[in-house]
Chain A
């Protein structure tokens, strides 16, 4: 019996040693970034998700670049100008740039890239040619191109942020399927290996035109479960983790492992769309009342761990009109406005009525899509009930939510968040009546006229004037219940120093790996 126990002890110790040695030395592993979702393509003309743009901006360069502070600056184009007709843009290109396969970058690459976007056989998904009303690309000389548009498009440089330049020979000779997983660009990194749903390995492009990057190897891994991402960070298996909630973030910061929580005021504008096909929401007073009724500071305090403040205007900084103030929490004013609109509680049950019917409605909210969406809506519903509107939260799984959107069957209020291109025209464009994702039925003629004018206006001062006027219209006419600019939360290991961008993208050259002293 004693012998048996002895052997059992030996066996157990061996197992423990084996397990312990399995852990390995994690301090030498490459920079590891965990995202919640996986990319499906590395072809810029088929990409659409934020995570895909994150990968692509590290492999490719565009003619223009959106910096970490969200300003537009020169990329592969040194400078650009638009002619008198406002339909011809001349781009002077950077010299001596090479793609990672050795092909030189030049005017031919620009022409090829835009022509590939328009290739009908490929059926690309990029919207760039449509957004810039692309007519044709003309080669002036080896380092100069002209982009001709069908109409004046003031936002052309903004759209070019995602128009990554491709090497003509490589992309011209290979099929779309072949290049999908083997991208070749001029960017700071090149993709070395992609095992779908497992990992992506990138290595520094030693010949990047901007110089050498500090981090040589980067490993990206899709880990869909948030708890697993946090566990990876806490076990020392990751350096940056994305998409965590504020309460989970607080947990990371509490740990004594040196991990940090980074919270960034993002560009995504979170709101409740007010559907004006619901009778009482046709009245401006009622829409304003909905805004006055919401106590966002309490939501921030109780639901968002103290992060965030109320959205004032739908345009993000630096283009926001600072004089436009967020709706304050004023339930008495909300009640007054509702009374002005003719809503009365005739039977004393605490619910207002209109046309003999109680005002009751649902708030559609997609679950696990936006940060604390359901919890925010529950607080809003409580606020609305307090002023006499019988609101009820209707949580929906994301695909069901999308399907209802496609059938235009949203409830009178719906929770949604628009990302931002950090441009006033594009930020305001989310309220266009023909936009697929806009189901408010809000159609303000002055706003539309101004929007059309804005699209044709090139001078910064004039654009600013129109944009500010439009922002005031939106605030006053209240097509949304304004909520907040969603914060993005990241977990960082003690090995890295990094300030996240507000556009949810991860640009590797901005990350600094701390060196051991």
Chain B
């Protein structure tokens, strides 16, 4: 068990280092950030001086080593645009992103669970087909388009909810629905297929044969086992939601990490991009690590592999 976890932890560490290195290299190849910091009236000499002053004229690997040696000590450097510690800027925005992703995650599970189970138990019925059409649409609709449609209908025409921004609970409605839709659709399908597989197992037949009520068979015997793959999916889902938040936060002017990252990439704010990418990678691998841990706990066969 412990060697399994150590192996996973080592792999997770490799992923974080790899991601930080690749993002640094890609960003570096796209040019240095001085281009985005100079005014239109700057002369060639002034730009060169700024580049020197900021240490951006040094070879890329020297810059990476400097960054990495600081980062392992928890110092991600200062944002070039904000002139504030990069980590501090991210920390300021974490609550907004967590709030959005958490609500979206809960929404996607709470709705997907009954819809998926019912679709499986009433396989082939109008309910099942309706549920699957809904799932298909949910997965096919681009997040960007869905967000704008929701804004138009509920924000502009009906004026029920605010169009953008963060503050009240009402402002959370549209962005969380937008963000949750894809995950909701996917979770519904996963739960349905997982349930269908489990419902065909011998122990379910045995449960039914011994005269248990259908509800008990489904919720006590089938659903518990059907949830194992769902746990993995939910773990991955969190990462997916963080990615989706980049678009949703932009459409709904939500002050989260996604928007900060986009701005940082556009303005080539190296320290901020590096810090946010590293932290995103870290949270993603931590969740996966945690999921692996739970998985091995739920399914003893995993530990033996």
Contact = CB atoms under 8 A, between A and B. Distances in A.
B39 A48 contact: yes
Interface stretch (A218-226, A284-292, A320-328, A375-383): A218-226
A407 B148 CA distance: 38
Give the 10 A-B residue pairs with the shortest CB-CB distance, closest first: A403-B31, A22-B170, A197-B255, A402-B35, A198-B255, A223-B253, A19-B160, A40-B81, A231-B163, A231-B151
B250 A236 contact: no
A406 B35 contact: yes
Given A40-B81, A196-B255, A127 B41 contact: yes
14 contacts: A131-B41, A196-B89, A223-B164, A224-B259, A225-B251, A227-B148, A227-B251, A228-B253, A237-B162, A398-B266, A399-B30, A399-B265, A402-B35, A407-B31
Interface of B: 30-32, 34-47, 53, 81-84, 89, 92-93, 96, 148, 151-152, 154-156, 159-166, 168-170, 173, 250-253, 255-256, 259-260, 263, 265-268
A399 B163 contact: no
Given A176-B83, A403-B35, A130 B46 contact: yes
A406 B36 CA distance: 10
A312 B142 CA distance: 44
Nearest to B39: A48
Contacts of A235: 155-156, 159, 162-163
Interface residues of A, number: 55
B253 A222 contact: yes
Interface in A14-30: 16, 19-20, 22-23
A464 B23 CA distance: 52
Interface string A357-399: 0000000000000000000000000000000000000000011
Nearest to B41: A127
B42 A127 contact: yes
Contacts of B166: 198
B79 to A, nearest CB: 8
Interface string A84-128: 000000000000000000000000000000000000000101010
B151 A228 contact: yes
A441 to B, nearest CB: 13
Nearest to A417: B40
A294 to B, nearest CB: 24
Contacts of A402: 31, 35-36
A224 B163 contact: no
Nearest to A419: B40
Interface in A117-155: 123, 125, 127, 130-131
A118 to B, nearest CB: 15
Contacts of A232: 163-164
A177 B83 contact: yes
Contacts of A399: 30-31, 35-36, 265-268
A391 to B, nearest CB: 25
Interface string A464-507: 00000000000000000000000000000000000000000000
A231 B93 contact: no
B164 to A, nearest CB: 5
Contacts of B36: 399, 402
Interface of A: 16, 19-20, 22-23, 38, 40-41, 46, 48, 123, 125, 127, 130-131, 176-177, 180, 195-199, 221-225, 227-228, 231-232, 234-237, 398-400, 402-407, 418-419, 426, 429-430, 432, 434-437
Contacts of B96: 198
A434 B43 contact: yes
A221 B163 contact: no
Given A176-B83, A402-B31, A436 B47 contact: yes
Nearest to A433: B44
Tell me what chain A mostly uses at the interface: helix, strand, loop, or mixed: mixed
B253 A225 contact: yes
Contacts of B173: 19, 22
Contacts of B152: 231
Contacts of A196: 89, 92-93, 255
Contacts of A430: 40
Contacts of B252: 228
Given A23-B160, A41-B82, 20 more contacts: A20-B160, A40-B82, A48-B37, A131-B41, A180-B84, A195-B255, A197-B253, A198-B96, A225-B251, A228-B151, A228-B163, A228-B251, A228-B252, A231-B152, A398-B266, A399-B267, A400-B31, A419-B40, A436-B38, A437-B40
A231 B155 contact: yes
A177 B263 CA distance: 20
Nearest to B29: A403
Given A231-B151, A405-B35, A435 B41 contact: yes
Nearest to B252: A228
A125 B37 contact: yes
Nearest to B34: A406
B220 to A, nearest CB: 25
A197 B156 contact: no
A224 B253 contact: yes
Nearest to B48: A436
B30 to A, nearest CB: 5
B45 A434 contact: yes
A125 B266 CA distance: 20
A220 B53 CA distance: 34
Contacts of A224: 250, 253, 259
B146 to A, nearest CB: 13
Nearest to A232: B163
A403 B252 CA distance: 30
Nearest to A418: B40
A196 B43 CA distance: 32
A404 B266 CA distance: 14
Contacts of B83: 41, 46, 176-177, 180
A436 B45 CA distance: 8
Nearest to A403: B31
A177 B84 contact: yes
B270 to A, nearest CB: 12
Most interface-central of A16, A131, A403 (chain B CB within 10 A): A403
A61 to B, nearest CB: 22
A464 B223 CA distance: 84
Contacts of B30: 399-400, 403
Nearest to A228: B164
